[in-house]
Amino acid sequence: MRPDLLRFNGSSIYCPIADVHIDPSIPVDRAIITHAHSDHAKAGSRHYLAHKDSEAVLRQRLGEDISLQTVQYGERFTINGVNFSLHPAGHIIGSAQVSVAHHDMVWVVSGDYKLEDDHFSTPFEPVKCNVFISESTFGLPIYKWEPQEKVFDSIRAWHSKNKQEGKVSLLLGYALGKMQRILKNIRTENETIFAHGAVYYCNERLRQAGFDLPRLTLVTKDIDKKLFKNALVLAPPSASGSPWLKKFAPFSMGYCSGWMRVRGAKNRRAVDQGFVLSDHADWNGLNAAIKSTGAEKVFVTHGFTSVFSRWLNENNIEATEVITRYGKEDESEQPIPGEQDSIKPEV
């Protein structure tokens, strides 16, 4: 096994043979980006490469004039004799696993991923490899997701109840990924959906790029508050507790996150309703994905790295935990102080 095909250098996953960095946290000459979330896509690099579906949001976030090459899933490109290709990760729109092949060795950098088809991003596809680099955001047995349709049924029922009670339904979730998933599945036909600027402008950018998403109405200070009555309003987690919320009273606040699976998380977030909806793989998904790759070696990056890597080793899959700077894209997928107190790490 070639130990030098990819290296963890503290600021990226680096391929020394090709002199290419994957998801660097500092400016570099050549960067391959797995997806457009802020912990994986940083500004300042000389040249970027990503999947074509990431282009609109990457330019919005990193700069319209960045040097960006885009490729399709499965399209092979070679740098200094190393073969690269991108494959669906199912995390958000344009998210990709990076396959790195040299001679008889294949390494795959998964970035972030989920296995359930969200009906917007291209579903996860396993890639056979010798070495697999996996996240472990929800790498504990307690994290097992219900089918997403049950979650969307719950959201629809909550919104219906709020309308009966004369309340605004204020739904929080990450602007890129979570909100598009909700919009593609919630099916609120013939209903005006209002949105915080962070959600609105991300959604509009994707709509302008040709993606099939419902039109949203931007919440501005000039809108008549009477229009919000019984409405659905989408906002990022940062809106919680801010003065921006006052214009919607009376309202019920819901929160979409995998962390809602933990007992007490709803109360700690000061929300009325928690919906367990994550764009990351759950415990079963992580194990299924790793098994499907056939990898001889697994590097576990962000999340419950020590627990999950120990579990893999105990189940005859060689695994090592690695410290990276990933996993801090937004509070929507990060626990808050005290949230992990009720979690038992034993597996």
Q: Which domains does the chain show, CATH number per domain? A: 7-143+280-333 (3.60.15.10), 148-275 (3.40.50)
Cα 45 from chain centre: 22
Cα 60 from chain centre: 17
The upper half-sphere exposure of residue 320, i.e. CA atoms within 13 Å in the direction of its Cβ, equals 9
| Euclidean distance between CA atoms 282 and 196, whole angstroms | 29
pLDDT digits (tens, 9 = 90+) for 254-293: 999 999 998 766 666 678 999 999 999 999 999 999 999 9
Percentage, residues of the chain above pLDDT 70: 91
pLDDT of residue 267: 62
Q: State the pTM of this model.
A: 0.92
Q: Which residues of 157-196 are buried (b: 16+ CB within 10 A; e: fewer)?
A: ebbeebbeeebbbbbbbbbbbbbbbbbbbbebeeeebbbb
Please give the structure tokens belonging to residue 286. 């992580």
Stretch 304-314: mean pLDDT: 96
Are 291 and 328 in contact, with CB atoms under 8 Å apart? no
pLDDT band at 1 (very low <50, low <70, confident <90, very high): very low
Q: What is the mean pLDDT of the chain?
A: 92
What is the length of the chain?
347
Are 180 and 213 in contact, with CB atoms under 8 Å apart? yes
| Euclidean distance between CA atoms 266 and 262, whole angstroms | 8
pLDDT(33) > 60? yes
The dihedral built from the CA positions of residue 247, 229, 160 and 166, taken in this order, carries a sign that is positive
pLDDT digits (tens, 9 = 90+) for 185-212: 997 778 999 999 999 999 999 999 999 9
**Could you give the angle at which helices 178-186 and 148-164 cross, rounded to 10 degrees?**
70
Would you call 299 exposed, middle or buried from its count of C-beta atoms within 10 A (0-12, 13-18, 19+)? Answer: buried
pLDDT digits (tens, 9 = 90+) for 205-219: 999 999 999 999 999
Q: Residue 119 gets which letter from DSSP?
A: S
Amino acid at 213: L
Stretch 293-303: mean pLDDT: 96
CB neighbour list of residue 282: distance below 8 Å, 6 or more residues apart: 138, 143, 144, 145, 258
pLDDT(2) > 60? no
pLDDT(223) > 70? yes
| Euclidean distance between CA atoms 113 and 324, whole angstroms | 16
pLDDT of residue 61: 97
Stretch 123-144: mean pLDDT: 97
Stretch 299-313: mean pLDDT: 95
pLDDT of residue 339: 38
Stretch 299-309: mean pLDDT: 94
pLDDT digits (tens, 9 = 90+) for 315-347: 999 999 998 777 665 434 454 444 343 344 344
pLDDT of residue 336: 41
Lowest-pLDDT range, 76-90, 107-121, 332-346? 332-346
250 cis-preceded (ω within 30 degrees of 0)? yes
Are 258 and 277 in contact, with CB atoms under 8 Å apart? yes
